Copies of this chain bind each other. A is one copy, B any other.
Amino acid sequence: MTEEPPTRVNMEKIVSLCRRRGFIFPSSEIYGGLSSCWDYGPLGVELKRNIKEAWWRAVVQERGDVVGLDTSILMHPQTWVASGHLEGFSDPLVDCKSCHLRWRSDELEVDRCPSCGGELTESRQFNLMFKTFMGPVEDEAGVVYLRPETAQGMFVNFQNVLNTTRKRLPFGIAQIGKVFRNEITTGNFIFRSREFEIMEVEFFVKPGTDEAWFDYWLEERLSWYLKLGIKKEHLRPREHAKEELSHYSRRTVDINYLFPMGWAELEGIANRGDFDLTQHGSFSGKELTYFDDGTKEHITPCVVEPAVGVDRSVLAFLCDAYDEEEDEQGEVRALLHLHPTLAPFKVTVLPLSRRENLVKVARELDADLRKLWMVSYDDAQSIGRRYRRQDEIGTPFCVTVDFQSLEDNQVTVRERDSMNQIRVPIAELKKTLQAKLAGEDFLVLPAGGKVWKTGENDKTQ
């Protein structure tokens, strides 16, 4: 967050849209909410599903060298000893001796309590993992932690995946799942919360090839955002300085996005080297190595990890898609230019009025299109207002059934961004929309291929 954002969407508008249209609500809102936990509403859940699906498709389905995994949130506590989380995953905290408020000492710019000016205690480390107890007795023997990342589930299953898939290096494991971090400082809407979802790949490679694979994944991930419509000028790689690197990392580059509050991390690419497999091998006493057919040696692979927060992606895609257009009469149209792959609804069916004969045709269309896509149906208020409502939630196409439809068996298809309208025979509607929506031109790399040279990282900061 190093510089002022240029004039674009502000966070209040996004939060308000999310709340008003059912993308995101504060969790347990009727009870006053639960600090920095969020619920995805009917539209948000579809947007999030689409983002996760697009990621899975790109990193698992369309590749031959990455397989999926879904490991449990509760893991054997020894996992977190080996990974270093039990000792090192902590924030430094101080208490105010007067008002008893608690602060992160590394974020304080003053020596005394920012609230009351009181004296502060010595700083002590506070572990960010949520702790709970498994089994009937709340004692040390039953302590387990909610995972703060999904990565460790993939490392401890390295040998299981190798044995069952018989993959050869290089290959990866991908996982999407909930993680929990008992953060002291949360905020910026869904940007930093205590319960969130991440999408991670652990890509195992031969030592010595890790630097090249790092560059590969950085470009691969950057191009994924571009393919799904994020503007290039809103993405910026940021190289971590040596002293910033996590204990396991040889190199880390964040993919920063220009959020309303400024540039901040959307995804991180880390070269974890052989840290994790070595640690778990040593702590478990199990052999977590790979037999190299060429050299006839057992080696410990290196790992390149692209890891992205699902909720931050949701926020980035929403911010990037948000737009306001003013027409000649000075009326403002708010809309989401969401990529059709991500849009909660692909199509909305609108009968011009609630007359029975129109409704019948519209309902039939609705039911028919639902076999293919998430579709909505709206018959309330004027057609203009209904178009605006769909624009605001990013629906790429509206299909209007009017009185002429009863005569000529045609409907009007209106496109969100251009507002162009065409008449399409009902018999050809599915095919027309299918060509527009599900064609193979989606999820195809933009011309050029190479997006950033990784050497540019430093210059952009």
Contact = CB atoms under 8 A, between A and B. Distances in A.
Nearest to A82: B31
Contact of A45 (B70, B79, B138, B440): B70
A160 B72 contact: no
Interface in A38-77: 38-46, 48-49, 56, 60-64, 67-76
A136 B39 contact: no
14 contacts: A30-B288, A34-B72, A34-B74, A39-B157, A40-B71, A41-B157, A42-B68, A44-B70, A46-B68, A49-B56, A72-B195, A130-B132, A131-B138, A166-B380
Nearest to A31: B76
A48 B68 CA distance: 11
A182 B136 contact: yes
A99 interface: no
Interface in A20-39: 20-22, 25, 27-35, 37-39
A161 interface: yes
Given A31-B76, A76-B32, A194-B134, A69 B42 contact: yes
Nearest to A177: B178
A28 B76 contact: yes
A286 interface: yes
A75 B28 contact: yes
Interface in A365-385: 366-367, 370-371, 373-375, 377, 380
Nearest to A155: B30
A76 B165 contact: no
A284 interface: yes
A382 to B, nearest CB: 15
A229 interface: no
A40 B70 contact: yes
A105 to B, nearest CB: 12
Nearest to A173: B42
